Amino acid sequence: MEGAGIRDKFLHATAAGNNFGLDAADSFEFNAAAITPGLSSSSGDPVSNLTNLLITQSRDVDTALSPKLRAGSVSDFSSTNGNISAIGNGVNSASQEAVHMASGPSSASNAIEDRGTSFATPQVAGLAAYLFAIDPTLSISTVKNIILTSAAPASGGPPSLDSYAAVLSVDKGITPSGAPVRMALLDVIPAGQVEFAYPEFLLFLDEYAQRIANLNGKTNIEPDYSRYDLNGDGFTAGADGSRFDLDADGVIDTSEQELTDLQILCYFANGPLFSGSQADVRQAIDEVKTQFPTTDLDCPSLEILVQTNDPGGPFDTAFASFDSKVSVNDAGRVAFSGSNSVGASAGFSTIKPGRPTRFSFESTFNQRRFSGASINDKQPSEAAFRSLCPEPRRRT
pLDDT tens-digit readout, 89-136: 988 776 655 455 555 555 555 677 789 999 999 999 999 999 999 999
User: CB–CB of 52/10 below 8 Å?
Assistant: yes
| Inside any domain, residue 342 | yes
pLDDT at 174 over 60: yes
Claim to verify: residue 194 and residue 127 sit in the same structural domain: no
**Do 142 and 185 have their domain in common?**
no
What is the pLDDT, as a whole number, of residue 311? 55
Q: Which domain holds residue 143?
A: 7-168
Query: 17 and 121 in one domain?
Result: yes
Average pLDDT over residues 75-91: 92
Return the pLDDT at 42. Answer: 80
pLDDT of residue 210: 86
DSSP for 181-207, written as a single string: HHHHHH--S-SSS--B-HHHHHHHHHH
Whether the Cβ atoms of residue 235 and residue 229 lie closer than 8 Å to each other: yes
Same domain, yes or no: 236 and 196? yes
CATH number of the domain bearing residue 110: 3.40.50.200
Q: Decide which of 211 and 170 is more confident.
A: 170
Rounded to two decimals, the pTM is 0.74
pLDDT over 80 at 305, yes or no = no
Please check whether residue 37 is in contact with residue 92, taking contact to mean a CB–CB distance below 8 angstroms: no
What is residue 192's predicted lDDT score, i.e. its pLDDT?
Answer: 83
255 DSSP 8-state letter: G
Burial 36-71 (b: 16+ CB within 10 A, else e): eeeeeeeeeeeeeebebbbbbbbbbbbeeeeeeebb
Rounded Cα gap, residues 268 and 27, in angstroms? 46
What sign does the dihedral 112-161-359-278 (CA atoms) show? negative
Bridge partners of 386, per DSSP, are 303
Strand 302-308 to 104-105 pairing: unpaired
Whether residue 395 lies inside any domain: the answer is no
pLDDT range class, residue 363, cuts 50, 70, 90:
very low
The answer on 287 and 309 residing in a single domain is: no
How many structural domains is the chain composed of? 3
pLDDT average, residue stretch 37-48: 84
What residue ranges in 26-171 does DSSP mark as E strands? 53-61, 71-74, 84-87, 89-94, 100-101, 104-105, 111-115
pLDDT the model gives residue 21: 86
Three-state SS at 274:
strand
27/122 same-domain check: yes
- Residues in CB range of 321: below 8 A, 6 or more apart: 343, 369, 370, 371, 372
Whether residue 155 is found in the same domain as residue 97: yes
Query: Which range has the top average pLDDT, 1-10, 42-51, 140-149, 216-225?
Result: 140-149
C-alpha dist (Å) from residue 331 to 104, 213, 312: 56, 31, 27
Span 224-269, pLDDT tens digits: 899 999 999 888 988 777 889 988 988 887 667 778 888 888 888 8
Average pLDDT over the chain, rounded to whole?
73
What's the confidence (pLDDT) of residue 343?
31
pLDDT band at 275 (very low <50, low <70, confident <90, very high): very high
Looking at the structure, do residues 251 and 339 belong to the same domain, yes or no?
no
**Residue 41 scores a pLDDT above 70:** yes
In a domain, residue 110? The reply is yes
CA dihedral sign, ordered 281, 282, 287, 289? positive
Q: What is the pLDDT of residue 95?
A: 62
Residue 386 has pLDDT above 70, yes or no: no
* Most confident among 200-209, 354-363, 366-375 (mean pLDDT): 200-209
Q: At 334, is the pLDDT very low, low, confident or very high (cuts 50, 70, 90)?
A: very low
150 in a domain, yes or no? Answer: yes
Same domain? For 62 and 163 the reply is yes
